[in-house]
Amino acid sequence: MIEKIKKLEVVVNSSLDGNLYVNENIYEKLPPLLKGLVDCFEGREKDVILLSSVGVLSACLPNVIGVYNKRTVCANLYTFIIAPPASGKGVMNWSQKLIEPIHEAVVAASKLKIAETRSQNRGTNFDLPKLELKVIPGNTSSSKIHSHLQNSSESSLIFESEADSLSKMLKNEYGDFSDLLRKAFHHETVSISRQLDDRYDSIKNPKLSIVLSGTPDQVQPLVNSKGNGLFSRFLYYNFNDYQGWQDVSPKAQAINYDDLFDDAGRVVKLIYDKLKGLERVDVKLTELQWDSFQERMSRADQIIRDTRKIDFTSVVRRMGLIGFRIIMILTILRKYEQIDETTAEVYADDLDVELTIELVKILFDHSLKVFDMFNSKTISLTMAERGLLLRLPENFRRAAGLKIALNFGFATRTFDDLLKKWESKKVICKVSQGNYRKIVLN
């Protein structure tokens, strides 16, 4: 299967507007736990459930590690679903139920520890253990989030269906909060010095996952952070669809989503408990899988640089890490039944490497669209368009260009639509009937 992957282009199947859906062939090959969830949804909702569920699950795999770019990393992801009101993005809330049994168990154990400490130390001065949470509220301060991370012995999750709270923190506490998010993504030590009580605290190897949804206005503070690298740490899914009225009567409810996600949450808790009892599980790729992954990411990086989208390079580089973390998650979901106390490492299936490469191709375009969302001077092009433009000569006839486009996977009508789009955006100019010249991108 990896041999087949090696022949694929990074940008094949990319749409003209960057507003794509996740391909059905990805859904058909998902691990059973995820497939059982997404099969109960359609269209945009299906995509939102997949990406938000993967984001939540990235906080549910204790002691799972991998080595990427000479560093030990965990599976934590930052996910942002962006869409206007009444678009269906609220379906994301179902995915939070996957972590609820774990959160409840962590809080209950922490409260019990606090009660036992209080009971054993009556009449003396003592420090109570801090309350430990699995899911951290997003509508709080950066210092409080710092405290929750410090109190946690494992991965934490911030889950917010309205991104206003995070946007406000980025505006009001920009330096502290942005620094925390940027460092936590790479598990770098996060430090905070409090002048009020003359305290200095640091968190070594923080592990934080984030799942957010919001409107385009709510994502602007993140887009404005393109220069310092916070923007590039997020996985984006952006769409503009309007969801019409849905049948809310009992006859339309063939599946009870509460039951569906409650059942899945119990399975996730079993996986979590098994992993919690292990020292660590190292997710690895074979040399051939690494070669395929490297080739795809290197080609994407080359396309971005050759089309002069240099400020997007950091997104490409971190998309590699995001992709590797998705492989880690899919691998554990597919192989958790094979893992026991003797398991120290587990190799990814070719299937999960292929799935991730296909998914990353789609995520590139969504990131590009969000990246360009608030820059009116930017020419917004998909990865597929950029790849095709690189293969066209500076001056070309339609017939010659069509031949190249067909070899690249475009249909004739799509290529003609692209010529019109590029001409209107001044990416190319028509020299004469059927003859075009490329204009330098900026």
Q: How many residues belong to the chain?
A: 442
Whether the predicted pLDDT of 10 surpasses 50: no
3-state secondary structure of 403: helix
Ranges 224-233, 278-287, 424-433, most confident: 278-287
Average pLDDT over residues 332-360: 95
**Which pair of tokens denotes residue 134?**
């699995």
The pLDDT value recorded for residue 174 is: 56
Residue 114 lies in a domain: no
CA 331 to chain centre: 16
pLDDT digits (tens, 9 = 90+) for 94-103: 999 999 999 9
Assign residue 22 the CATH number of its domain: 3.40.50
State the total domains in the chain. Answer: 2
Residue 377 lies in a domain: no
The pLDDT value recorded for residue 244 is: 66
Phi and psi at residue 223, in whole multiples of 5°?
A: -60, -35
The pLDDT value recorded for residue 356 is: 97
Average pLDDT over residues 2-17: 42
Residue 217 lies in a domain: yes
Shared domain check, 429 and 366 = no
d(CA 206, CA 127): 23
Report residue 442's pLDDT band, with 50, 70 and 90 as the boundaries: low
In 127-220, beta strands by DSSP E = 135-136, 156-160, 190-194, 199-203, 208-214
Shared domain check, 400 and 345 = no
pLDDT digits (tens, 9 = 90+) for 66-88: 999 999 999 999 999 998 887 77
Residue 126 lies in a domain: no
Report residue 284's pLDDT band, with 50, 70 and 90 as the boundaries: very high
The three state secondary structure string of 102-151 is HHHHHHHHHHHHHHHHHHHCCCCCCCCCCCCCCEECCCCCHHHHHHHHHH
Residue 119 lies in a domain: no
Residue 108 lies in a domain: no
Strand partners of residue 81: 213, 237
Report residue 1's pLDDT band, with 50, 70 and 90 as the boundaries: very low
Shared domain check, 398 and 362 = no
Higher-pLDDT residue of 142 and 353 is 353
Residue 117 lies in a domain: no
d(CA 387, CA 391): 7
Dihedral (C-alpha) 251, 254, 255, 258: value to the nearest 10 degrees?
Answer: 10
Average pLDDT over residues 237-252: 74
Shared domain check, 293 and 396 = no
In the numeric block, the tokens 């809330």 are attached to 93
Residue 142 lies in a domain: yes
Average pLDDT over residues 303-322: 91
Domain around 253: 2-99+134-371
Shared domain check, 310 and 214 = yes
Shared domain check, 262 and 362 = yes
